[in-house]
Amino acid sequence: MTISLPWSRQSVNRIEPMVEVDAQLLFERQPDLVETKAEQESEWIWKPLFAFTLAGCVLMLWYAGLREYVGWIDRQIGAIQVEGATRHIDIQTVEQGLWREIDAPLLGVDLKSLYESLVEQPWINDATLRRSWPAGVEVSLTEEVPVARWGDRGLLNHEGDIFWPELKAEYMTLPKLSGPSHETARIMQQFHDLSQLFSRSELRIVGLVLEARGAWNIELDNGMHIIAGREDLMPRLRRFLDVYAAQLAERAAEVEEVDIRYTNGVAVRWKTPEAQNRQKEF
């Protein structure tokens, strides 16, 4: 007995799939991905290169402009202007000296070196220098103001600094101070204090000497020399002023030297008759 099935093995083999696959759906995004990746690689390479090139061009333009600007302002010095309240300084001489010192254009000129050359001059206490455009140097001078003589050849300013100009007759009226060069401030202060002490008398101090061992010697305007020593200077000088007013004032022209280093008095050395006669002749 034979059973017939609705389909046979042969019919089974002939069954074909009914699902259709669209190839465009499988491959439609592939070209876009490749193109995007290529664009990203291109941007990664060219953007930094472009930025670097642009920066280089800007830098070259800036450098070229800077060179032009520096070349424009860095000219040879064409003018030197010196000013200041000066009595003893010859402005023209200072200018001529500066011209000899300048060996560079405006930006290259050594202002520090010029300053040092100026303050080395006897009458210049300080100086201010600055560049002025388009091509000049401006100088402002501060002159020394002498307040005392220092020894036989120098002068002292108000700060106690020694300078060595050519001495003129007008400075012979200044008080004469002497001593170790590192003690100028102390000597000036002592002179000021002693001058105040003597201001109540008719005497005036015209000279003060500090010896190396620390002793003080005083010269008065009447030619009298005082050996004051180191100790108890003010009390001894007060005693001298009392003795002078009481006993020596009337005979001051006969006194050559007074030693006040004693405890209870002073020692007086009188001038010789010949010295007194010579003084009278003057």
> Which residue reads 């001051």 in tokens?
252
275 — pLDDT class (breaks 50, 70, 90):
low
| Terminal-residue alpha carbon distance, the chain | 185
- Residue-level pLDDT at 11: 45
Domain count along the chain: 2
pLDDT tops 80 at residue 230: yes
Look at residue 35 and tell me if it is in a domain. Answer: no
Are 228 and 177 found together in one domain?
Answer: yes
Are 159 and 257 found together in one domain?
Answer: yes
- Residues 177, 148 contacting (CB under 8 angstroms): yes
Nearest Cα to 73, choosing from 154, 148, 133, 145? 133
Look at residue 110 and tell me if it is in a domain. Answer: yes
Are 160 and 221 found together in one domain?
Answer: yes
Look at residue 266 and tell me if it is in a domain. Answer: yes
- Residues 207, 218 contacting (CB under 8 angstroms): yes
- Name the more confident of 227 and 74: 227
CATH number at residue 124: 3.10.20.310
Look at residue 180 and tell me if it is in a domain. Answer: yes
The domain boundary, picked from 128, 143, 158, lies at 143
Look at residue 118 and tell me if it is in a domain. Answer: yes
Mean pLDDT of 154-182: 94
- Residue-level pLDDT at 114: 96
Domain that holds residue 99: 79-143
Are 176 and 226 found together in one domain?
Answer: yes
The domain boundary, picked from 94, 112, 143, lies at 143
Q: Tell me: cis bond preceding 105? Omega within 30 of 0 counts.
A: no
Question: Which residues partner with 124 through β-bridges?
Answer: 143
Q: What is the pLDDT of residues 206-222, one digit of tens each?
A: 999 999 999 999 999 99
- Residue-level pLDDT at 107: 85
Are 159 and 228 found together in one domain?
Answer: yes
Are 135 and 152 found together in one domain?
Answer: no
Helix, strand counts (H, E) of the chain: 8, 12
**Of 40-44, 218-222, 251-255, which gets the smallest average pLDDT?**
40-44
Are 167 and 250 found together in one domain?
Answer: yes
Are 224 and 171 found together in one domain?
Answer: yes
Look at residue 72 and tell me if it is in a domain. Answer: no
Are 187 and 269 found together in one domain?
Answer: yes
Mean pLDDT of 107-114: 92
- Residue-level pLDDT at 104: 87
The CB density around residue 188, as the number of other CB atoms within 10 Å, is: 20
Are 274 and 243 found together in one domain?
Answer: yes
* pTM to 2 decimal places: 0.69
- Helix/strand/coil for 120: coil
Instruction: Report d(CA 265, CA 143) in Å as an integer.
Output: 46
Are 125 and 220 found together in one domain?
Answer: no
Look at residue 232 and tell me if it is in a domain. Answer: yes
pLDDT tops 70 at residue 29: no
Look at residue 59 and tell me if it is in a domain. Answer: no
pLDDT tops 90 at residue 115: yes
CATH number at residue 156: 3.40.50.11690
The domain boundary, picked from 114, 143, 172, lies at 143
Nearest Cα to 167, choosing from 178, 152, 181? 152
**Of 10-19, 67-76, 173-182, 207-216, which gets the smallest average pLDDT?**
10-19
- Residue-level pLDDT at 33: 53
CA 139 to chain centre: 14
Are 202 and 104 found together in one domain?
Answer: no
**Of 105-114, 123-132, 184-193, which gets the smallest average pLDDT?**
105-114
